[in-house]
Homo-oligomer: A and B are copies of this chain.
Amino acid sequence: MGLTLELIRGARARIQDKINRTPVLRSTTLDTAARAQLFFKCENFQKTGAFKARGATNAVFLLTDQEAQRGVATHSSGNHAAALSRAAALRGIPAYIVMPSNASEAKRAAVARYGGQSTLCEPTLADRERTCERILAKTGATLIHPYNDLRVMAGAGTTAVELLESVPELDVLLCPVGGGGQLAGVAVAGKSIKPSLRVVGVEPAGADDAYRSFNAGHIIPSVNPQTIADGLRSSLGDLSFAEIRRYADGIVTVSEEAIVRSMRTIWEVLKIIVEPSAAVPYAALLEDKLGVAEQRVGIILSGGNLDLDQLPWSRVRQ
């Protein structure tokens, strides 16, 4: 049983009064540069500053009361952790967040702000899993994986449902790929609602496991990914990969230089804050990887959380 439009529509009904319907921004300047019509879906304006609020909220509100009262847990330290903390707080249940002891102060603060309970572990996969197992055993909490989970993928897919409601004439939809949960959700939603829509994942060349996996037809794990797009370093999950293989039209990769240039252009022209991972799809247009001239292109700006003290401009100063 895979992901379906029905599951995504169910998620939409479940979460729509608990999240933002995010705006779609346009820019004459960027349209002219791309020789296309661009529609930026602003998940940086989503609750907790990222699309992750959609999947986490759907997962938390799908739990039975009995499951819910024991809480939820995850081992993400990024946007999913904050989103899960907020969703749990909305339902009035505990969220247990396992994060490595070297996680940034900003990430710990975000979890605390939304009411999550952090447990620090050693920054190794083994200790992370051990710590997570111990918490699950002790509390009976439900593990909510950051992306390899149908409930989470269904929530992520609601972004495409909203965008196609706003812009039904869309020709192409571009989405970042990390663990693949968001691409899986929007590909299932997009292709089910509008089969002629071209859905393309965009990935940093320095973390191109989805690109290679898609072309190989089996999962090739992400080994030592090198990219500023910290949300896109994860390996694909088996559930997300299955949907991407079936529904996505392709995956393209972009350079680090293009990601930084994309991020800066979005800041300067759209006047909005996006994190490096969110700048990855537009980078594919800057590098002219897609042949979208004269088309209507949806671009998911997946989030806006980053450390303003650590901006990447100086590395590629023009």
Residues of A within 8 A of B (CB): 23, 44-45, 49, 264, 267-268, 271-274, 304, 308-309, 311, 313-314, 317
Q: Which residues of B contact A23 (CB under 8 A)?
A: 23
**Chain B nearest CB: distance from A131 CB in Å?**
29
| Closest partner residue, chain B, to A317 (CB atom) | B309
Q: Which residues of B contact A264 (CB under 8 A)?
A: 308
Q: Which residues of B contact A271 (CB under 8 A)?
A: 44-45, 49, 272-274, 304
Copies of this subunit:
2
**Chain B nearest CB: distance from A83 CB in Å?**
15
A212 to B268, CA, bound (A): 35
Q: Which residues of B contact A49 (CB under 8 A)?
A: 271
| Closest partner residue, chain B, to A47 (CB atom) | B28
A45 to B23, CA, bound (A): 13
> Do B313 and A267 touch (CB < 8 A)?
no
Q: Which 5 A-B pairs have the closest CB atoms?
A: A271-B304, A271-B273, A44-B271, A272-B272, A267-B273
A313 to B311, CA, bound (A): 11
Q: Which residues of B contact A44 (CB under 8 A)?
A: 271
> Do B308 and A267 touch (CB < 8 A)?
yes
**Chain B nearest CB: distance from A270 CB in Å?**
8
> Do B308 and A313 touch (CB < 8 A)?
yes
> Do B308 and A268 touch (CB < 8 A)?
yes
| Closest partner residue, chain B, to A274 (CB atom) | B271
| Closest partner residue, chain B, to A113 (CB atom) | B29
Most central of A271, A273, A313 by chain B CB within 10 Å: A271
**Chain B nearest CB: distance from A51 CB in Å?**
13
A307 to B267, CA, bound (A): 11
Extra A-B contacts (10), CB below 8 Å, given A44-B271, A311-B311: A45-B271, A267-B273, A267-B308, A268-B273, A271-B272, A271-B274, A271-B304, A272-B272, A272-B273, A309-B314
**Chain B nearest CB: distance from A250 CB in Å?**
30
| Closest partner residue, chain B, to A307 (CB atom) | B268
> Do B313 and A309 touch (CB < 8 A)?
yes
A45 to B29, CA, bound (A): 13
Q: Which residues of B contact A311 (CB under 8 A)?
A: 308, 311
| Closest partner residue, chain B, to A314 (CB atom) | B309
A273 to B269, CA, bound (A): 10
Q: Which residues of B contact A314 (CB under 8 A)?
A: 309
A317 to B311, CA, bound (A): 14
Most central of A49, A264, A274, A309 by chain B CB within 10 Å: A309
Most central of A23, A267, A268, A313 by chain B CB within 10 Å: A268
A304 to B309, CA, bound (A): 19
A297 to B304, CA, bound (A): 25
| Closest partner residue, chain B, to A263 (CB atom) | B308
Q: Which residues of B contact A308 (CB under 8 A)?
A: 264, 267-268, 311, 313
**Chain B nearest CB: distance from A262 CB in Å?**
13
A264 to B106, CA, bound (A): 14
